[in-house]
């Protein structure tokens, strides 16, 4: 059941930590996260995360398998087109996909990350919820962890991120799509993930949260979260949104995955208007332009 009542949080409690609502970031307010060779200055502009799928079965049809050279060429193109971060994943999350063990995932992502880290000027994130994979990826040159289970599957990822001093993205996810009150429940779950991260010693500025569009949510839920995204800013940390080519866009427009560019552009623009700080995308060139135009409207533009 979807509720229309807004969530208002003046302070948030994370296992003994109390953080005021305006502690770090919202439109017009700044905070800085160090990620590899760059500083992410929140509120200044939207950051672009380009997706590299080192998988044979990506839902979006762009899986590169074990072709490390193709991954490098794509990453270099993304960097030239405006990507700020490259996110490398080795396990498909599409419906019906087969889970892979840590050894296989390491075999897929580590050679890619090793090569990319030697050639790129922008940071590399590893998209994994497995401790062993994240550890090997960081050793290979990644400087960010993107955990699609928000520490639910591997709480020790928080210890790893704290030890290595890297930012971590914590996404909301759940089995099934049942909610009594969608947005408050997703926010409450993200609060728990954030509390785990802080308790492990991760600096507040190194945590990024993701409402998890398409993960444990029906299409109506995804649209509702996009519509109410501003409410997630009450968590006082940067927000990442990943809508690129997803099935909700296909359902709304009646289009296959390869024809969802315009639908993705609409979700990216509206996400930025509603408070997104990072957008995770496949089509970097186009979405960088969408983000820059959206930023000019939302955050202001100087000649």
Structural domain span for residue 103: 44-294
In a domain, 62, yes or no: yes
Largest separation between any pair of C-alpha atoms in the chain: 51
| 10: in domain | no
Tell me whether residue 106 is in a domain: yes
Please give the chain's pLDDT, 303 residues, in tens. Answer: 344 444 444 445 544 444 443 444 444 445 999 999 899 999 999 999 999 999 875 544 455 667 899 999 999 999 999 999 999 999 987 666 678 999 999 999 999 999 999 999 999 999 999 999 999 999 999 999 999 999 999 999 999 999 999 999 999 999 999 999 999 999 999 999 999 999 999 999 999 999 999 999 999 999 999 999 999 999 999 999 999 999 999 999 999 999 999 999 999 999 999 999 999 999 999 999 999 999 999 999 876
Catalytic residue among 217, 228, 233, 246, which?
A: 246
95 within domain boundaries: yes
Strands (E), 91-226: 124-127, 144-147, 168-171, 207-210
Number of domains, the chain: 1
Residue 270 within a domain? yes
pTM for this prediction: 0.89
| Burial class (CB within 10 angstroms; exposed 0-12, middle 13-18, buried 19+) of 20 | exposed
Helices 261-273 & 219-227 angle (0-180, nearest 10): 40
Active site residue 246: yes
> Is 302 inside a domain boundary?
no
233 is catalytic: no
Point out the catalytic residue in the list 119, 280, 292, 299: 280
């Amino acid at each position: 059941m979807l509720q229309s009542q807004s969530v208002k949080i003046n302070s948030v409690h994370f296992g003994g930590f109390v953080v005021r609502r305006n502690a770090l970031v919202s439109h017009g307010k700044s905070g800085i996260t160090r990620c590899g060779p760059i500083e992410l200055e929140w509120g200044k502009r939207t950051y672009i995360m380009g997706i590299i799928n080192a998988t044979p079965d990506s839902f979006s049809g762009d899986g590169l398998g074990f072709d490390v050279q193709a991954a490098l060429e794509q990453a270099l193109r993304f960097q030239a087109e405006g990507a700020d971060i490259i996110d490398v994943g080795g396990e498909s999350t599409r419906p019906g996909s087969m889970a892979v063990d840590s050894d296989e995932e390491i075999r897929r992502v580590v050679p890619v990350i090793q090569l990319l880290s030697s050639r790129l000027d922008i940071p590399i994130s590893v998209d994994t919820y497995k401790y062993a994979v994240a550890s090997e990826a960081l050793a290979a040159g990644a400087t960010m962890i993107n955990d699609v289970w928000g520490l639910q599957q591997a709480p020790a990822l928080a210890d790893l991120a704290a030890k290595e001093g890297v930012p971590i993205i914590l996404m909301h996810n759940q089995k099934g799509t049942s909610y009594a009150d969608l947005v408050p429940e997703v926010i409450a779950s993200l609060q728990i993930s954030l509390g785990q991260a802080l308790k492990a010693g991760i600096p507040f500025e190194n945590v990024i949260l993701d409402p998890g569009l398409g993960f444990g949510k029906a299409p109506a839920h995804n649209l509702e979260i996009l519509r109410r995204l501003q409410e997630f800013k009450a968590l006082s940390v940067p927000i990442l949104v990943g809508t690129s080519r997803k099935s909700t866009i296909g359902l709304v427009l009646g289009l296959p995955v390869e024809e969802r560019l315009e639908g993705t552009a609409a979700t990216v623009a509206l996400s930025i208007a509603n408070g997104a700080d990072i957008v995770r995308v496949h089509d970097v060139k186009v979405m960088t332009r969408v983000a820059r135009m959206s930023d000019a409207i939302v955050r202001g533009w100087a000649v």
